[in-house]
Structure formats: C-alpha cells, structure tokens
Amino acid sequence: MPKPWARPPEAALPAAARRIIRLNNGFQLLFNLLWWMPVFYAYQRDAGLSEDQIFGIQSIYYVAFCLFEIPTGAVADRIGARNCLRAGAVVMTAANLTPVLAPSYTGFLVHFLAIAAGRSLTSGAASAYLYDGLRAEGADAHYLKAEGTARALGLAAKVLCWPLVGPLMLLLPQAPYVLSAASAAGSLGCALALPRLAPHGEDSVPVPRERRPGGFLHDTRAALGVLRASPLLVLLMVQGVAVFTLSRICQVNLFQPVLLDHGIGESTHGSVLAAMTVAEAVASARPQWLSRRLSPVSWVSLLSVVLAAVLAGLVMGGPWTVVALLCAFAAVTGFVYPVQRKLINDAIPAGAPRATLLSVESIVDRGVCALAAVAAGAYLAAGRLDALLWHSAVITCVLIPVLHLSLSRLRRKSPRAGDGRGDATPRPPDEPVPLPVDEGAAPRA
C-alpha cells in the first residue's frame, strides 16, 4: 500500500498539473520578491520616521490584513482563486511604487495598507488554487512537494537578489521599491497564464457564481459552520500561530534591530538575510528529511518550541553566533511551513469554502502578529530587546505543550482528522504519519 505522503513517480504527473505547478512557482517567486525587505527599517528611519511610527505602521498593517482577509477569502470562493491572484498582483505592483512617490509617514502607511490588501487577496487563494488544481488533475499527492518547492524557489530568488540591494541603492536609493514593483508586475503575467480549472469533481473547483446559492454571507456562514463542527481544525489553525508569529516577528520586524544591537552594520544585512534564506529554502524543499517516527502535528509542536529556544539563544550569542542562530531559525521555519499548510488543507472537508477557511487562518495569524508588533515597538522604544526575546520564548514554551495535549485528545476522538493523510482511512491514534520520501535521498532516522 503506498504511503499517503510518499512522492509518486514524476511520470505520474499530468502535463496540465505540471503547468499549474510551474506557473504557481513563478507567481510565488515574483509576487513575494520584496527587494526592500532587508532595508525597510533603516530606509524608514532615514526618511525621518521614529521607531514608534515604524512599528505602529507594522501593527496597523497586521490589523488591516485581518480586516481584508474577512472578505477576500470569500471573494476567492465566489469569483475564483485565479481572478483573486490577478487582482492581488495588480494591487501589489501599485503598493511597491507608493514609497517612491511619497517617502513619508503617510506614504509608508499607504504602502503597507496596500501590501496588506494585495497579500490578503492571494494568501488563501494561492494555496486553494494549487490544492484544487492538482486534485482536479488527479495529482493531489504532489501538493506537499509543490507547496514546498514553490516556497524554496521564492526563497532562492531572494538569496540571489537581496545581497544586491546595497550596491543598487548607491545608484538609486529607491531601487528596492522599483524592483519590487517590477517583480509584482511579472507575477501578474504568471497569474494571467494560469489555466481555468477543469471540473473533474463537484468539489474540485469553485462553482460558478450563477449556480451557487447565496453570496458572500453564504460562504462566510458555511466556513463558520465548518469551524464549529471541527474543533480540531480550529486547534490546528491555532497551532500554526506560534510558528507564523515567531517567524514573522523575528525575520521581518526584529531582524535588523537584532543585527544592529550586536554591532552588525546595515551594509551586511542583505547578505545575512540571504544566508538565512538559503537555510529556509533548503528546508522548505525537503520536509521529507523530518523523521517519520513523529506525526506531522507533533513535528509542528516540537519545531515551534525549537524556534522559541533559538530566540532565547539570540540574547546570549556574539555577532557570529547570532548570524548562525538566525540561519538555524530560518531552517526550522522552512521545515515546518509546508507540513502545517498540508495539515490545514487536509483537515478542511471536501466541498467546504477552502479559500475562506484559509483566510480565517490568516486572520488569526495576523491578529496575533498585530499585538506582537505593538509589544515589540514598546520593548524596543524602552531599550529592552533582550527581554522581548526571552519573554517570547517563555510564552511559546508554556503554551505549545498545552495546545499539543489538547490536539492529542481531539485526535483520539477523531483519528482521521488532522493527521495529514487527506483520506477517509482511519488509523490508530498514536500511529505516526509518514512524511514524504524523496527517492533521491535516503530518509533520516
């Protein structure tokens, strides 16, 4: 009997599925290629913004993301994920040009609000399109590998581009934002080329609007009904909050303050971030390196605690140790993201409004990040960066075991849900689920 997470032979992948995967890879790579990421903190400081203003904008960004996620997931289920991807690429292109036209507090605020709108349009839609597209072609077993590969390729592009940010800014200070806009425009080209999904099954693709009952409220009520009926799905979403919040706050909001606090100058930030991205890209493309002795749910919980421990280690290390720990942090993040994404998708029942439910997950993640960004700004304004890292680690290490125990109890009651299998075959509650096997590499013990 084939392993449910094992990678099937490449010959089994239909041509239509390969096209979906290639275009998804291109879209994810270009849409998320934000050239300004390594320097936006220093760029805003040079533009005259205070730390309170910078982190205040970040908090507003996360709140706005939550508000935008409420309608955009349902919109994706109504008009189709492909159209949402196209709209998101258009908005992202305009958003990246805003700081060039208005390098002020208002300009950066509008920039991040537009970024929130663009990303919310694609956050649930991209995953839903890939999942449903591969399933419609009978290639759903390739989803985990495709999700991880798309993330890895996007990260690899950042490795090549981010070290160039410093030299390019010497020629044109606004270069990171102009190049980000050009990349977003390229992602629009990929979205325009995405094929319409063939209706191989009633739940394979969004039903056309004229044949669907109700509207936005119908999809929202349906999503809420699924969540009420599946407390395990809710807990799986909450489980991902720790990973998303820790990775987002550390790799985006605190990345530059941590390096500056350890005497690492701005000129090397792009190279350090590139090294972190290499680590994350390799891990994202190889979730099968994780031992099969633990279930995917257990791996997500364990790796969340590891992320917290790395944060605590940043307090005690010197410059080179901090860079090494940041790379380790990125690698752990790369391992856990594809596994968590598959857990959520497999736990969503067939026929449910998938993009709406994935947007609900994003709302939870960004809502917690909004609070974390406010707290981070307050800690940094008070000069207490070390305390922020310690407190984040302690809170994570306390909450994750409690959450994991709750998940284990629910999985004993409903052993199929949330196990990462995505089929109707029950299994013993304590049996670990095998992770995908890479035929080109020996599995680790």
pLDDT, tens digit, for every residue of 244-254? 777 777 777 77
* pLDDT tens per residue, range 178-218: 999 999 999 999 888 888 875 543 333 444 443 444 555 66
Residue 115: which pLDDT band, with cuts at 50, 70 and 90? very high
Question: Given pLDDT bands bounded at 50, 70 and 90, which one contains residue 177?
Answer: very high
Confidence bin at 110 (pLDDT 50/70/90): very high
Q: How many domains does the chain have?
A: 1
pLDDT surpassing 90 at residue 39 = no
pLDDT score of 91 more than 90: yes
Residue 307 dihedral angles phi and psi, to the nearest 5°:
-60, -40
Is residue 68 pLDDT above 70, yes or no? yes
Alpha helices in 137-268 (DSSP H): 143-161, 165-171, 175-193, 216-229, 231-248, 255-261
Please tell me which residue, 41 or 289, carries the higher pLDDT value: 41
pLDDT at residue 426, rounded to an integer: 35
- Is the per-residue pLDDT at 90 higher than 90? yes
Distant-in-sequence, close-in-space partners of 68: CB < 8 Å, separation ≥ 6: 116, 117, 120, 121
Express each pLDDT in 417-426 by its tens digit. Answer: 444 444 333 3
39 in any annotated domain: yes
**Structure confidence at residue 430 as a pLDDT band (50, 70, 90):** very low
Q: How confident is the model at residue 319 (pLDDT cuts 50, 70, 90)?
A: confident
Which of the 8 DSSP states describes residue 57? H
Short-list 39, 395, 43, CA closest to 242:
395
- What is the structure's pLDDT at 132? 79
pLDDT of residue 203: 36
DSSP character string of 295-361 = -HHHHHHHHHHHHHHHHHHHHH--HHHHHHHHHHHHHHHHHHHHHHHHHHHHHSPTTS-HHHHHHHH
Closest by CA position to 345, among listed 245, 422, 230: 422
3 vs 360: CA distance, rounded Å: 30
Of the chain, the end-to-end C-alpha distance in Å amounts to: 21
356 class by beta-carbon count within 10 Å (0-12 exposed, 13-18 middle, 19+ buried): buried
Query: Quick check: is 10 in a domain?
Result: no
For residue 359, give the amino acid letter.
Answer: S
Q: Which two structure tokens, joined as six digits, stand for 59?
A: 């908090």
Average pLDDT rounded to a whole number, residues 124-150: 78
pLDDT for position 45: 84
Tokens of 382: 């008070």
Predicted pLDDT of residue 434: 40
Say if 214 falls within a structural domain. no
**Which residues lie below 8 Å from residue 234, measured CB to CB, with a gap of 6+?**
227
pLDDT of res. 219: 64
Neighbours of 401 (CB within 10 A): 13
In a domain, 81, yes or no: yes
pLDDT value of residue 146: 81
Write down the residue that tokens 């052993």 correspond to.
415
Query: For residue 76, how many other CB atoms are within 10 A of its CB?
Result: 33
**pLDDT at site 414:** 61
Q: How confident is the model at residue 114 (pLDDT cuts 50, 70, 90)?
A: very high
What is the reported pTM?
A: 0.59
Q: Is residue 367 part of a domain?
A: yes
* Contact predicate 38/269, CB 8 Å: yes
Report the distance separating Cα 149 and Cα 142, nearest Å.
Answer: 11
Interhelix angle 143-161/319-347, rounded to 10 degrees, is: 150
The answer to whether 283 and 327 have CB atoms below 8 angstroms apart is: no
* Dist CA 422 CA 179 (whole Å): 40
In a domain, 272, yes or no: yes
Domain CATH number, residue 389: 1.20.1250.20
Which residues, 6+ apart, have CB-to-CB distance to 425 below 8 Å? 416
Instruction: Give 405: exposed, middle or buried? Use CB within 10 Å, 0-12, 13-18, 19+.
Output: exposed
- Quote the domain boundaries for residue 399: 17-198+229-413
Q: What is the mean pLDDT of residues 270-286?
A: 77
Cα separation, 238 vs 261, whole angstroms: 32
Residues 158, 278 contacting (CB under 8 angstroms): no
Residue 296: Cβ within 10 Å count: 28
What does the alpha-carbon distance between residue 431 and residue 421 come to, in Å, rounded to a whole number? 12
Per-residue model confidence (pLDDT) at position 417: 46
Residue 217 counted as domain residue: no
Q: Supply angle C-alpha 30, 31, 35, rounded to 5.
A: 75
- What's residue 20's pLDDT? 86
**Per-residue pLDDT tens digits for 332-368:** 888 887 788 778 877 877 777 776 777 777 777 777 7
Residue 320 within a domain:
yes
Average pLDDT of the residues of the chain = 75
